[in-house]
Amino acid sequence: MSKIQLTKPTLIMLYGYPGAGKTHFARQLCETISAAHIQSDRIRGELFEAPRYDKRENEIVMHLMDYMAEEFLNSGISVVYDVNAMRVGQRRALRDFARKAKAVHVLIWLQIDQGSAIQRIVKRDRRKMDDKYAAAYTKKEFQEYISGMQNPAQTEDYIVISGKHTFNTQRNAVLKRLYELGMISAESITSSVVKPELVNLIPKNPAAGRVDMSRRNIVIR
């Protein structure tokens, strides 16, 4: 199945609690639409053997993310900017960044309750792709982190999806909104939908079960 092409290069920002599924969603979204996945946790993990998450380290990671995003957007390639755009000023700067690159900006808010988010963090498995570079949090650290988050205001344009839903449900909500924004065509959505095959009510192999062949042909009058 071919990837959906956006009509304009787009910077897709993410917002949500740790454990909301931002990286999992971002990775799969980039398998649906033609976009580059720039993941802050992976960049940090590749650069620093024992990340400290201090100011200097954060500056280096963000500088690299911005550089990569700018190169992609200037080349006409959309970007999923996988870092928590947790504060108003940060989101404002990213929107200005997108405008400078002549790109569209979209904010996706993955909503989940705190209890579910904490449970996910506790159960993270470093052997899994989406958990390998993720930061570890104690409950206290989690509470301190989210206390610094600023929810998007009504004046900010954003798409809300549930962090507890399957990716297929999340994808459909995002594609619907991108279509409404004129970012994708109806033909692109239609061509990317897997059409189910007709179901054969009669087993192809009679040995698989007893079939009354006298009832195979059904006539409705």
* 157 token code pair: 């344009």
Which residues, in sequence order, are CB contacts of 158 under 8 Å at separation 6+?
A: 15, 106, 107, 108, 109, 152
Distance CA 99, CA 10 (A): 10
pLDDT of residue 185: 85
pLDDT of residue 186: 82
Q: Chain-wide mean pLDDT for the chain?
A: 88
Which residues, in sequence order, are CB contacts of 60 under 8 Å at separation 6+?
A: 47
Distance CA 52, CA 15 (A): 22
What fold characterizes domain 10-192? Rossmann fold (3.40.50)
In the chain, domain spans: 10-192
**Tens digits of pLDDT across the chain (221 residues):** 689 999 999 999 999 999 999 999 999 999 999 999 999 999 999 999 999 999 999 999 999 999 999 999 999 999 999 999 999 999 999 999 999 999 999 999 999 999 999 999 999 998 998 999 999 999 999 999 999 999 999 899 999 999 999 999 999 999 999 999 899 988 777 666 544 443 344 444 544 445 454 444 444 44
Helix (H, G, I), strand (E, B) or coil at 182: coil
pLDDT of residue 2: 86
pLDDT of residue 221: 45
pLDDT of residue 188: 77
Its pTM stands at: 0.84
